[in-house]
Each structure stands twice: as structure tokens, then as C-alpha cells.
Structure 1
């Protein structure tokens, strides 16, 4: 039997190459995909450097402090003329602020929101929730969905920033049931409170880089995924789709009916009624006790009608309402008081018109309201 050969010692170069190869494999396995990494880098680049930065920029807490004190916020210059609100918001990377007064949480609302095809990294969500039992339940349910989306969901589904605010006043109605909400005697107080909630939410979230504001009610559960792009493509200062409600008819067949009657063209009858009213009285739409004979967009939808058909409006509803941010910056808000005998969203349309901005409706472009 021949002599036993001793094992050759591995050269240092071989060991180094082996270690580098192992590290490379681990990095490849554990690192996020290129798209996720790019999205993450974009978020970090767009993150606010200080909590006093614009509210629509996501803020990530910094541990760095100077001598135990928080580093003062930087002076930031904004060139507002560079903020566009164009028919091609995706191509121009325009930021969208979606604002929702939320009294109840509907899972279908959130699911529909997640289906919007507009790049989520360009969307900031803002919610105003009342401080009552229903509001507490809505807050808990909303935060659960936010956690799933923002922490464990795919990067493409995550929104740039999410803001939750609680009302600093009590809601005027104890119940948010649909029948109670729509009683005529409750309208002035209810809609005045809604105006206050909308204004508080708007004034605390509208940032200098916001291009569009989409008002989307919490009970809107079905819209086209391209809702933002479709509405913005009309390049209108204020634009509103037609809000309908799906239901089952007496023959147990699926049907739909108009829901929002606040989008209308004015009439001589309504103007005459307003002239005879006291300064604190308001005109209401959709009630037999107050026949205004306005032309309602709710009844202008045609089977197979062109979804891009436009009509001029004097009043708008707020179930789904896209507004160029400059309209709000000009001072158009939701009056919680009688403004030319109008209040809330209808008063907003009137105020915007006084500022030189017109409202447009899309009678054949539909969104759908929850059916209680």
C-alpha cells in the first residue's frame, strides 16, 4: 500500500472567493426586489425632515439631536407656479390628497380605495372621525387596515402618507343611520357639522405640493379603478360624477337608483324661494316639501350614455368630488352657514363660482354608494 497523501491546504485566495460568494448569495436572497427597493428609496427621498414640514409629506422620526435638543426645521422654499393640475396627472407625477369624513368604517370603501390604479406613492389619505362610540369603532377598524397596508403590504399598495384626525366637537346626530341622516329637519345642523369637519380636514392637510383634492365619502364602495385619472382628464376646476346606489328590486333582480341629489342646475323657482327666505334659511334638494324644480344630474344619466359627457352645474354633491388644489387655495371652502341660502358642498360650488371657478358634472360616469 503506497504512502498516504496529505490534504492540500486551501490557498487564501480560494477562501476569500468562497466567503464573497456566500455573502453574495445571502444578499440576493434577503434583499427586496428592485421595484420595492426603488419605491422605498423614493419614499425616503420624499420624507419630511422635520415634524413641522408640510402635513402631506410622510415624516420619519430622526434620532439625531443637537446637544439633547431637536434639530430646528429647515427653511424650505416652494415654487407654487411649478405645481400643476393637468389632464395627465400620472405623467406629471401630480400628488393627490384624498379626504374622507369618516363616521362609520365600511370594508368595501377601503377595498375600493386599494383598487385605485393611481400610483399610491403619489396619494396622501386624510380622515376626520368624530369622537363618539361609532367614531372609536371606525378608528380602530381603519387603523387595522392601515397597519396591514402600510407595514406588511406590497410597496406598490402603500400610500405616501396617512393622516387621521378626530373632531373637536360633538356630532349633532346621535345616530348615523341613513334614514336619520336624511330627515329634512336634521339637514341644517348635520350639514353644518359636515362643513366644519371638511374644512378642518382640508386646512390641516393641504400641502404646498398638492395638485388635486379628491373628496370621497366613506360610504362610496364602488368606483372605476381609474377614477382619479378619468376625472382629471377633463381638466376642470371642480368635477363630480353621478352617484348611484345598487339594490334588489321587488322582482328580486339587481337594479340601481340615483342617490346624490346635490348636483344640479339652478332654476327660477329656486331663486324665487331664496329671495323670500330669511338670512339664516337654506334651500334643500330632494324634498317634496321644498320643490325647487332644479335640473338634477341624478336624473340625467342615460343607458349607454357617453361617460365623458359634461354638463355645467350650479351645485355639487360631495360623495366623490375632484377639485384642483388651487381652488381651495383661493379660499373656496364648505360654508357651515347659509351662503346665498346654500350650505356645505352646494355652498362650496356657489363660493367657488364667486371666486371665478365653475363646476362640471358627468351624468353618465357613475360611482356607487353603500346600501343600508
Structure 2
């Protein structure tokens, strides 16, 4: 068997060097020179430094990279607290910091301001003017709107005004987070006064409004909110400090008094919101006689509850900070602590103790031992919306006004005509008097001239006669005897 012969020191039987068949050029596998290795090491160092700097920048600027890199670096060696949770999908909230206090603006407590809108385009200019004037720090107020069942351009107008508000150059003007939700609830009741406030529509309308409020609240309430403020868009006048004024009372639920201005011919003013009231024995007895799904509404002859209404307790000169415990609340302006809603209180879209929506909300809050108060002497003013009767009466008044103005116009024209006639008569009289005087003076002058002429004629005749007598010869004896006779007769 042929075996390969090995030489000492490990050399094989193949020839080494020379020009044999198996000779290998040794220069192909010799180590690289030192400058080439140095350049390669420098390149590796630069690439490593660049990679490290890139990772550092990503770690500092991109939170998601921190969340990925930090656990790998720590390898579980460092314990993490709640403040160290840095995952993008994890949030930690301490709700003890959002309970709501009397000095919320000092503690930078956030307020969620909720406003349901339906065919409210005409009211938005007035509403946004109120928003601009609020003195509570705007960056602490989050706005939430629900546009439902609208037939006008409420949504478009709202979007335009929000854009203008948030782009205001005044840094104190823009608000915090803004949510606009659009959802229809099948509300068929028209927005005119007669339809909205008609007794037949109240129960169904209130239940759908309760659904709208609950949808808006559940979609926009955040763990960072300490207060929830409900405000209707058709409030005409309210203090700019209303949030601070209501918040200072530190109540779970608080409402102001709501009136509305009226024309002078209707009395000047009137209570508007009758849904803020204290419970009465008569109302409780009435509730026991109604069906399970019935809803009691205030201000209608069909339900005589004889409850003390917050609106009728108003004194224009009373203390605006005076508090009154109430059971039902009106929805025009409500300030409530967020914990009330987090505890499960909501706006019942069903008959809760024979009430729904805001009145049911007040009853439910009282049932859960929250404080519910109203301020009888702290008043805001709702926009006046004339009813059909008011419009009819105003049309009658307008007709009467036009008739009165027409009559006054005719009387004025008649008076001017009479005055003109008197003036013309006076002028004619004065002209006639002047003419008569002129004629009289002329006649007098002519008479004087005639008398003068006659006198001159008489004088001429006398002169002629005298001259004639002088021309006649006289008899002295006769004259003397005549003179003696006359003397004798005289004496």
C-alpha cells in the first residue's frame, strides 16, 4: 500500500520551493502591511462613534426608542416606580389630584366645558363672545361640543369660529383641548318656542336630551378634569367670572338663578329656568299616582307640584353668595365636580323618580349623598325668544303703531293746513287793511284836496266879491246913520 513519506520536522514529500509542479507563490498569503491595518482600525472606530452618537440622539429625542433601549440596558437591575413608567401605551393618573377645590384656578384644575348644539348657528357669535371674556385661565378649559339633529350650518360655523379663536394672536385667548362630536338622536321636536316648551313634547324631548348629554360627557371626560361645566349656547348675559364665582362655594353640584329679559309691554323681565327646585310633599304624592315611565315637568298646569322654585326666590338686592339646597337642577348653567360623574351620576334618559335629564341628575346626585345647591340671588340672563302669542301681540302692536303714526301724520298735516289757512287769512287781512287804509288815506287826501280847492275857490270868490264891493260907490250918510243905529241897538 502506498503511503506518503514524511520527512522530519513535518515537511511533506512534496518539494518545497523551486519550480516544481506544486510550488506556491508565497507573496499571496503574507500578512498585510501596518498602514493598511491602521486605516482599517480607524474606520471601525469612526463607524462605532457615529453609531453610538446616533443611538444617543434617538434615546434622547424619540420616547419609543427609550422605551425599547432602557429595559435592555437595565437588564432588570434597576427597580421602576410609577413615575418611571415610560411606555408610550401606558398612562398613570392619580385621581386624588382631580377632586376639585374652591380655589381651582390657583391649583390649575382643568375644567371640561360641555355645550350641546342644535340649529344654533344664530347663537354662536354671542356664545363665542362669552368664551373670550371668561376670566378663568383659558388653557385650563377644555371645550366639548355635540352637534346633533341640526338643519342649519351649525357645524360649519362652529369650525370657523373655533379656528379663529385658537389662532388668536393673544396668547391668553386659545383654549385647551377642543372636541367636536357629531351625532343625531332623532329629535323631531322643532326648535321654536311653542314646540320646545309645549307640554306634550316634554317627556320624549327630555329623554333624548339626556342621551345627548351622556354621549358628550362620556366621549370627552378625561382623568385630568377636576370640574365639568354645562353651558347652553343661548345665554345672553352672564358674569365673566362665573366659573370662579361658582367654584368658590366648593359644592359638588351648583347652579345660578336664570331669568330672561322681556319687552316693556310684557313686564321687563321674567323667571326662565323652573327646573331648579326643592321637593314638596304635594309633588311626592303626585309622583305616586303616575305611571312608571311618566316624567314630571315644572311650569305646567298639568302637574301642580307646589314646589319652591329657585327662580321665584330671587331678590335683585340679595346676597349673591346665599346658598339654597335644592333637589332638581336646570340645565342652562351647571358646575359639577368631575368626581360626581365618575361616581356614576348621569343624566337619566328614563324616568328616575318621575324625572329625567337635568332634574333627574339632581335627584340622582342627592340620592348618592352629593351636595346640590342653587344661588337664588346670583342671576344670569337667558335670551328672550318670543312665543306665538307674543309674536301675534307684537304684530297687533305694530299695526296699532302704524295706524297711530298714520293718524298723527294726518293730524299734523291738518294742523299745518289750518295754520297755513290762518296765516293766509292773516296775510289777506293785513293786505286788505293796508289796502283799505291806503284807500282811506287816498280818499282823505282827495277830500282834503277838495276842501282846500273849495276853500281856495271860496277865498277867490270872497276876494272877487270884495273887489266888487270896493268898486261900488258908498253913501256916507247912509253908512253913518246905519252905524249909529247899530250902536244904539247894542247899548
The residue that corresponds to 1:130 in the other structure is: 148
Deviation at 1:153, TM superposition (A): 4.1
The residue that corresponds to 1:118 in the other structure is: 136
Secondary structure at the aligned position of 2:179 is classed as strand
Deviates more, 1:103-112 or 1:203-212: 103-112
In structure 2, runs of 5+ residues without a counterpart are 1-62, 65-86, 386-491
1:149-164 matches, cutoff 5 A: 149-164=165-180
Select which of 214, 225, 235 maps to 2:250: 235
Deviation at 1:110, TM superposition (A): 1.5
The residue that corresponds to 2:105 in the other structure is: 90
Aligned-partner Cα distance in 2 for 1:162–1:215: 15
Select which of 313, 328, 332 maps to 2:326: 313
The higher radius of gyration belongs to 2
The residue that corresponds to 2:412 in the other structure is: none
Q: Does 1:218 align with 2:250?
A: no
1:1-372 matches, cutoff 5 A: 73-103=88-118, 104-105=120-121, 106=123, 107-134=125-152, 137-173=153-189, 175-250=190-265, 255-372=268-385
Aligned-partner Cα distance in 2 for 1:129–1:172: 15
Deviation at 1:228, TM superposition (A): 0.3
Deviation at 1:152, TM superposition (A): 3.5
Q: Tell me, yes or no, if the aligned pair for 1:192 and 1:337 is still in contact at 8 Å.
A: yes
Secondary structure at the aligned position of 1:289 is classed as coil
Aligned-partner Cα distance in 2 for 1:162–1:358: 29
Deviation at 1:341, TM superposition (A): 0.3
Aligned-partner Cα distance in 1 for 2:142–2:191: 26
Structure 1 runs of 4+ aligned residues shifted over 4 Å read none
Aligned-partner Cα distance in 1 for 2:172–2:192: 35
Residue by residue over 1:277-323, the C-alpha shift from the partner in whole angstroms, topping out at 9 and shown as x without a partner, is 11011111011221110000010001211000000001000100000
In structure 1, runs of 5+ residues without a counterpart are 1-48, 51-71
TM-score normalised by the chain length of structure 1: 0.78
Deviation at 1:156, TM superposition (A): 0.7
Aligned-partner Cα distance in 1 for 2:378–2:290: 35
Residue by residue over 1:121-172, the C-alpha shift from the partner in whole angstroms, topping out at 9 and shown as x without a partner, is 00001011114313xx111111111111112442211000111111242223
Q: Tell me, yes or no, if the aligned pair for 1:109 and 1:222 is still in contact at 8 Å.
A: no
Secondary structure at the aligned position of 2:290 is classed as coil
Deviation at 1:73, TM superposition (A): 4.0
Residue by residue over 1:48-83, the C-alpha shift from the partner in whole angstroms, topping out at 9 and shown as x without a partner, is x99xxxxxxxxxxxxxxxxxxxxx943110011122
Aligned-partner Cα distance in 2 for 1:151–1:326: 32
The residue that corresponds to 1:31 in the other structure is: none
Aligned-partner Cα distance in 1 for 2:168–2:380: 29
Q: Tell me, yes or no, if the aligned pair for 2:144 and 2:179 is still in contact at 8 Å.
A: yes
Aligned-partner Cα distance in 2 for 1:337–1:353: 17
TM-score normalised by the chain length of structure 2: 0.59
Q: Tell me, yes or no, if the aligned pair for 2:185 and 2:212 is still in contact at 8 Å.
A: no
More helix by share: 2
Q: Tell me, yes or no, if the aligned pair for 2:236 and 2:381 is still in contact at 8 Å.
A: yes
| Aligned-pair Cα RMSD in Å | 1.6
Q: Tell me, yes or no, if the aligned pair for 2:257 and 2:375 is still in contact at 8 Å.
A: yes
What count of residue pairs does the alignment treat as equivalent?
A: 298
More strand by share: 1
Aligned-partner Cα distance in 2 for 1:222–1:73: 44
Deviation at 1:354, TM superposition (A): 1.6
